[in-house]
Every structure is written in structure tokens, then in C-alpha cells.
Amino acid sequence: MPDDRNENDQPTGATPPEPPGGIPSSPPPQSTPPPQPGQYGATPPPPPGYGTQGVPGGDGAPTVGDAFNWGWTKFTQNVGPILLGVLAYFVAFAVLTGIAFALLGGASGVADDDANVLTAMFSFGFIVIWVLFLVLSLLMQAGIIRASLEISHGRTVELRTFFAFDDFGKLLVAVLLVGLGTAIGSVLCYLPGLIFAFFAQFTLLYVIDKSQGPVDAIKSSFALVNRNLASVVLLYLGVVLAMFIGYLLCGIGIIVAMPVAMLATTYMYRRLNGEQVAA
């Protein structure tokens, strides 16, 4: 019998032939547009004036020139509260010095028969004044560091910033440990003590800025200096030069040199840690 099937008909269960050119590819997946600012999942923009844009050396490795340029600029922008804070501590130092001279003058006028008793009293008084000098020096240094960190974050510095005594216990222990390490190193031909103080120069910054304990702060300072030895050596020399010039100007220049040097140190500390500073 003749086959009535059409030649295009396929047997049941047969696989249809592939079209010319092979199997067509699937349509490309639809790409999801990135979230726009303000949408959920978008990274919020940084606050105005924050970041390294406009900061000297903000797009590359920081230099000592960048650090002191930024430090001087920020000092002039915040000269009022900075000078008032530093001068307040200098007045306190002057008062303690006056008390020390008064004790010295009183000791020289003591009669011979009372000398033994009063000499012991004056000796105790000098010890107390010496301890107060150390505590006051620590508080002043911590106040300048705290103000420098606030400026590096783009925040407003007020006079009370210099008298915030947070973490005083940790700061005191950190200073004692650094002093002890420096003293022990100094006994060993002096140079090891200088090296220890050099590597520990960022300790108080880590205590105040990162709330680290004294030992961890010393370790962090050593690690930062070790990773950036050349930059920190130049910074150290720049700070020494600035302080020397300040002392040459009849001691008055130190009121300016000290905060400018600390601002430069704070700039390098934050930049070497890969952090941003306020422009």
C-alpha cells in the first residue's frame, strides 16, 4: 500500500532535528543596576570636608613636609582653643615652680636647731611637687594629642578637649612602661634607650585613639614604626628640629612648636595606618 505519511512527519518519540546553526543560545542575563545613593545597600557618601581629597599628599604616601604643612594649617585654623589650652597648663607649671622656689627659700632661712626636722619636710614637699610636675606633663601631652585627633577627624576643638581625663590610668601606666624601657635601655650604653623611645613614640596615640591597653599600644607603636621606618625617622627629626627652634625663641616658641609637632605626628600616625584625615 502507498505510504500516506508526509515526509516532514516524524515518528512518534523521535527527536526533532536541530535547526540550522545549532542550538540557539539562551538570552543574556539581565544585569541589576548598582544601588543609587540613598537606596538600601548603597555606601553612604563621606561627610563634607572629610577624606584625603585636598589634603597634601592625600593620594600617595605621606611625607614629613605634608605632615607639617597640614599641622601648621590646622593650628592656624584652631589657634584660639589650642593656645588657651596649652597656656593653661603653662600657668599651672609656673605655679608649681613658684611653690618649689618658695620651699627652697624657706629651707635656706631655717635655724640650725630646726634644720633636721624641716629639711625632711621640705624634701617630702619637693618629691610631691616633682610628682605633680610629671602628672601635669602627662595631662598636657594627652590633652594636645586628644585635640590633634579631634582635628584629624574634622571635629570642633574646644578648651575642655584639653582637660578630658579619660583613660588616665592607662595613660599613666603606658608612660611609666615607656619610661622604664627607656631607662633600662639607657643604662645599656644609652643607644638602646633612645631606640626604645623612638619605636614607642606613637604609644599614647594608640591608647587615646584606639583605647588600647598600655602593652598593646606599645606593640602597635613598634609595629607601625617598623613598617614605615624611613618615614618615621624623618618625622622624628622634623619634630626635634621644630621643638629646638621653639626653645630658641626664648621658650615662647614652644607654645606653638609643641602643638604643631603633635598635629604633624597625628597626621603621619593616621596616614601610615591607612586612615583618612580631615582636609
In a domain, residue 202? The reply is: yes
pLDDT at res. 127: 83
How far apart are alpha carbons 4 and 7 in whole angstroms? 9
Number of domains composing the chain: 1
pLDDT at res. 128: 83
In a domain, residue 21? The reply is: no
**243-247 mean pLDDT:** 91
Range of the domain at 260: 64-272
pLDDT at res. 61: 77
In a domain, residue 15? The reply is: no
- Exposure string over 129-162, b if 16+ CB within 10 A, otherwise e: eeebeeebebbbbbbbbbbbbbbbebeebbeebb
Q: In whole angstroms, how far apart are CA 55 and each of 200, 274, 278?
A: 27, 14, 8
Compute φ and ψ for 157, nearest 5 degrees. -100, 130
pLDDT at res. 146: 96
pTM of the model: 0.74
In a domain, residue 45? The reply is: no
pLDDT for 14-48, tens place per residue?
445 555 544 444 455 454 455 444 333 443 444 44
Compute φ and ψ for 243, nearest 5 degrees. -65, -35
If you ran DSSP here, which 8-state letter would residue 2 be given? -
Can you give the length of the chain in residues?
279
pLDDT grade, residue 59 (50/70/90)? Answer: low
pLDDT at res. 5: 47
In a domain, residue 265? The reply is: yes
pLDDT for 157-209, tens place per residue?
999 999 988 889 999 999 999 999 999 988 888 889 999 999 999 999 999 99
In a domain, residue 19? The reply is: no
DSSP string, 97-149: HHHHHHHHHHHHT--GGGHHHHHHHHHHHHHHHHHHHHHHHHHHHHHHHHHHH
pLDDT at res. 234: 96
